[in-house]
A = this chain, B = another copy of it.
């Protein structure tokens, strides 16, 4: 945002009036800058794929696609989103531990770059699709090594994801028995919300090494390696930005070394949160400001129902996302506020004891760094308020990219029994 309360020169208050609140506001300049800054540092030999699950909005996907990102998708709707966003099939991969046969068939028929298979059973399902040509798949490996520095580990532990490296190494004859499947590569994803560059570099080298080992042991031609991603966005006071230069130097060296040994291969890193997290602000309007037993509460028009990550349901220690007033400049008289949503649960606390300039009813507040895992990762039907509007500001123009749910949207899918 270029000034305190504007996005690309558009006053946020005007956008809030035009599109209503609660609203997710995406700054296209930030979206481009984050991508461009990373792209410029990474070797051009490393493809960046965007994990659509982080923000599946078709226009957000389209912007990243227009910048050169491939799309990593995990459901039928995400696959269709990727196509609508302009992704070529060779720049789409599909992963997820629980794919349906319909999803597998849609991927195979579309001819995506690869289905990332996460179990031996899934390989058998793909083999059984009965397509005229073998289907290109990558093997998702659950490596024998563990990720350091990840907030959530997807690999190196007992997990629903991928196939244990030890199991894969024994699967040469099994893979040979699947004429409908062509293994083209290996995928590894170690964990998420990593803010330590060295951990990303270690993971990258570890997956590349595992891919070479698996290719040699299993006897398939290695065309593609997806080294995962997992770069985090610092949300809380105790978190710091990842060192992007250190990351790039280490990852580039790992990729260059790998390609020197294995020329002509495609190497992919997949990123979700990092690419879209920074660009988004969840904008709410204060409806009520009140004191209760010595604490001040701002009751806003949105909360858990749209931004569960900021609320952090179930955490024992509430940690605050960056929250600021979008109406009043910071002054020396900051007060500690609990910012809540409109729900009837005491867990609906967007920020606890956060220092803000005086908040009055009607003020706008923004929860920042909220472009990833926002509405789509939140219980938008809770208390039947529905999902919020999403607005993307691109080249100075604000575009509505997701319509706010209406009452009819919420009720039309329900059927009333005659009693």
Residues of A within 8 A of B (CB): 52-53, 56-59, 62-63, 66, 74-78, 80-81, 84-86, 95-100, 118-122, 142, 152-154, 157-161, 163-164, 167, 192, 287-295, 297, 299-301, 308, 312-316, 338, 340-349, 361, 375-387, 392, 394, 399-403, 405, 407, 409-411, 413-417, 419
Contacts and interface: CB of A to CB of B under 8 A. Distances in A.
User: In this complex, which of A77, A154, A316 has the most chain B Cβ atoms within 10 angstroms of its Cβ?
Assistant: A77
14 contacts: A75-B383, A80-B411, A81-B411, A86-B419, A98-B299, A98-B341, A98-B342, A119-B290, A154-B346, A158-B293, A159-B292, A160-B290, A379-B379, A392-B417
A415 to B, nearest CB: 5
A77 B380 contact: no
Given A344-B95, A376-B379, A415-B59, A76 B407 contact: yes
Given A381-B376, A410-B77, A414-B57, A346 B97 contact: no
A387 to B, nearest CB: 7
Nearest to A361: B121
How many copies, total? Answer: 2
A53 B383 contact: yes
A344 B96 contact: yes
A72 to B, nearest CB: 9
B164 A293 contact: yes
Across the A-B interface, the 5 shortest Cβ-Cβ residue pairs: A314-B314, A98-B342, A77-B384, A158-B295, A158-B293
A300 B98 contact: yes
A342 B97 contact: yes
Contacts of A300: 98
A258 to B, nearest CB: 25
Contacts of A62: 416-417, 419
Contacts of A387: 381, 413
A292 B378 CA distance: 29
Given A161-B346, A411-B80, A416 B58 contact: yes
A288 B98 contact: yes
Contact of A384 (B75, B86, B98, B338): B75
Given A292-B159, A417-B399, A347 B377 contact: no
Given A288-B98, A290-B119, A411 B77 contact: yes
Given A158-B294, A382-B376, A411-B80, A416 B85 contact: yes
Given A375-B381, A402-B414, A120 B58 contact: no
Given A96-B342, A401-B416, 13 more contacts: A58-B415, A59-B415, A75-B385, A85-B416, A97-B342, A99-B342, A100-B287, A118-B288, A158-B293, A167-B291, A314-B314, A401-B417, A402-B415
